[in-house]
Amino acid sequence: MPSHKIKLTQDAVSAARPESTKYVIWDKEITGFGVEVHPRGNKRYFLKRRFNGRQVRPTFGRHGDMKLAEARKAAINAINMINEGLDPTLHSKLAKEAPTVGDLMDEFVERHVKPNRKPKTEHEYAMLIRNHIKPAMGHLLINEVSPGDVEHLKNKLRQKKTTANRCLEVVSVAFNKGEKWGLREVGKGNPCKHVERFRLDQRKVYLEPDELKVLLDSIRAYREENTFARSAMYAIELIIHTGARRNEIRTLKWAYVDFDKALLRLPDSKTGAKDIVLTTPAIVLLKRLYASKDEGQEYVFSGAEVSTGLSEPTLYKHWARAVNKAKEKGLKKEGLRIHDLRHTFASLGVASGLDLQAIRDLLGHASIATTQRYAHLYDDAKRAAAERIGELIGVAAE
């Protein structure tokens, strides 16, 4: 339903139904006053006016928590403040109706996350907000949040440091947006600014060639023993051959495979559209799968049905079993993750003489800074090459 103007009544607001996109019902009696109806059914009263040459948008509360008459009164108070030269988004008269951190998070998801982030990121943000941020801070008024409140959130999650850091990232961006949208007083600053993130141990697990052989042999043996593991094990093997991200291979479609150019042409990925170079072993693997694929099979690695991709739980389950089989054959690496295969691909590339820019291109990193994690390997490779040259020169000089 497009935005429209009516004489707002309590019944009319209650009867408004959510649509696929948010819309506004404007009030005919108070100019700029209205109720915003969100796709999930939330309805929020607000006022839209000009103040000192800029737009201000004080919000007053949710329908259900606040009656229309109360929202009208708050809107009239805000208009009176504007007429008196006061910013209604900052003044203490609206303290009772001032938005909370919970309100900010709802606005943040609707106005920023949904339009600008991928579904997977939206799901992650929603989980962090629901499980951690709202329980710790949701009741606090936005203008009263201090760095100490953010420290409290961080310390509650000290046993989950990665989660804590992700929560701080979400809160920080949300408060930046909140100030831009007029929900937090300008000049108060971002309460996350001086809160340090937890230091994380950077796991760098690489498989040596002999270890990789043990893992590949175990993957292939497990695949032959268990037909239900076929898709998952072929997917893991393709990750080894390409250095691709787990989800890039798990959701790979045949339409993305370009056999002529030996490329996977992904229309979307973590860093946008990208091409992944296919090595000869990867081409052989894909051609074998293509020759035996079912009619109408859209995904290279299908799930329970040919019309669905390989699920993450299925991939993880069979990966864990294959790793256990590899350990039985002598693999010593502990805590080996699927993502470590991507690190292994990069480390082998460096060892073969590729520079960091080439590694960046192969892995599809958006920034060379991400690839710098392999710089120490590159330095080692250069030193080893220099030593070999030195040995040759030494022999020639004898």
Burial class of residue 364 (count of CB atoms within 10 Å of its CB; 0-12, 13-18, 19+) = buried
pLDDT of residue 264 exceeding 60: yes
Output DSSP code: residue 146: -
Give the predicted TM-score (pTM) of the model: 0.56
Lowest mean pLDDT among 56-65, 209-218, 316-325: 56-65
Closest by CA to 362, choosing from 282, 306, 299, is: 282
Reported as a single tens digit per residue, the pLDDT across 171-205 is: 999 999 988 887 887 778 899 998 999 987 766 67
Q: What is the pLDDT of residue 291?
A: 92
Q: Is residue 32 part of a domain?
A: yes
37 and 164 co-located in one domain: no
**What is the per-residue pLDDT for 388?**
55
pLDDT digits (tens, 9 = 90+) for 374-389: 555 545 555 555 555 5
pLDDT of residue 305: 60
Residues 244 and 377 in one domain: yes
pLDDT at residue 356, as a whole number: 67
- Say whether both 268 and 378 belong to one domain: yes
Residues 92 and 174 placed together within one structural domain of the fold: no
Terminal alpha carbon distance of the chain: 88
* Adjacency order of strands within the sheet including 33-37: 4-6, 23-27, 33-37, 43-47, 59-62
Structural domain includes residue 205: no
Whether residue 31 lies inside any domain: the answer is yes
Task: Tell me: do 233 and 145 sit in the same domain.
Answer: no
Helices within the chain (DSSP H only): 10-15, 68-83, 101-108, 114-116, 119-128, 134-137, 147-156, 161-180, 209-225, 230-242, 246-250, 280-291, 312-328, 339-351, 356-363, 368-371, 375-397
Structurally, the chain folds into a number of domains equal to 3
Residues 375, 230: one domain?
yes
Task: Choose one of 80, 98, 116: the last residue of a domain.
Answer: 98
Exposure class string for 323-334: b at 16+ Cβ within 10 A, else e: bebbbeeebebe
314 touches 246 (CB < 8 A): no
Q: What is the DSSP string of 256-298?
A: GEETTTTEEEES--TTSSEEEEPPHHHHHHHHHHHHTPPTT--
**Domain co-membership, 92 together with 140:** no
Give the pLDDT of residue 175. 94
Rounded Cα distance, 114 and 284, in Å: 40
Average pLDDT over residues 117-127: 89
Mean predicted confidence (pLDDT) in 220-242: 91
Decide if 156 contacts 131 (C-beta within 8 A).
no
| Boundary residue ending a domain (61, 82, 98) | 98
Give me the domain span that covers residue 146.
Answer: 102-180
Residues 6+ apart with CB under 8 A from 264: 242, 244, 248, 252, 256, 257, 258, 275, 276, 278
Q: Which of 132, 157, 180 is the last residue of a domain?
A: 180
**Domain of residue 93, CATH code:** 3.30.160.390
Residue 232 sits in the same domain as residue 339: yes
The CATH number given to whatever domain includes residue 288 is 1.10.443.10
Please give the pLDDT value at position 202: 65
223 & 263 share domain: yes
Question: Is residue 59 over pLDDT 60?
Answer: yes
**Which pLDDT band, with edges at 50, 70 and 90, does 90 fall under?**
low
With respect to residue 130, please indicate whether it lies within any of the assigned structural domains.
yes
Query: How confident is the prediction for the chain on average, in pLDDT?
Result: 84
Say whether both 265 and 365 belong to one domain: yes
Cβ neighbours of residue 395 under 8 Å, at least 6 residues apart?
A: none
DSSP-H helix ranges across 97-229? 101-108, 114-116, 119-128, 134-137, 147-156, 161-180, 209-225
- Same domain as 299, residue 366: yes
Least confident among 8-22, 175-189, 216-230, 342-356: 342-356
86 and 26 in a common domain: yes
